[in-house]
Amino acid sequence: MTIKLRPHHVERIIKIKEKGFLINSAFSLMARLIYGSKTLSNYKNTLKRIESGEKISLTRQIGDLCKDCPYQKPCIIEDYDSATKLVHYFLRKIGGKIGNTKILDDNAIVELSLNEDKTYCLDDLINSK
């Protein structure tokens, strides 16, 4: 079975793993506050699957990390309401990178040299950087 992820989620997972425990802990706290405990739990379970060697496939739609996210619809259609805009404002204030998700996906594909028709192992992606 493969794990479907948005390209920018693959990029974020790699960056968080590279930065170590402290950044991972800070991310977990932020994710719980902004996206909710169900989304954070899903993230941790998905990460365990990836770390155990399950393959990653890319999607531009709702991926496995998105399934419990309260912002999935506005994220996909790029139509953010005022509550979502406020979340983005606070994320930017603490150094988060929020933008047009289509552009973030395009940038991640270029930065990581991803091919949307292939599947990947996390270790291969980390070692190819």
Q: Which long-range contacts (CB under 8 A, 24 or more apart) does 92-97 make?
A: 94/30, 96/30
pLDDT tens per residue across span 24-48: 888 888 888 888 899 999 999 999 9
Higher local confidence (pLDDT), 80 or 102: 102
Share of the chain above pLDDT 70, in %: 81
The structure's pTM equals 0.81
pLDDT tens per residue across span 105-123: 999 999 999 999 999 999 8
Tally of structural domains, the chain: 1
> Does residue 128 sit in helix, strand or coil?
coil
> What CA–CA distance (Å, rounded) separates 84 from 75?
9
Give the sign of the dihedral formed by CA 18, CA 22, CA 70, CA 99.
negative
Which residues constitute the domain of residue 43?
A: 2-127
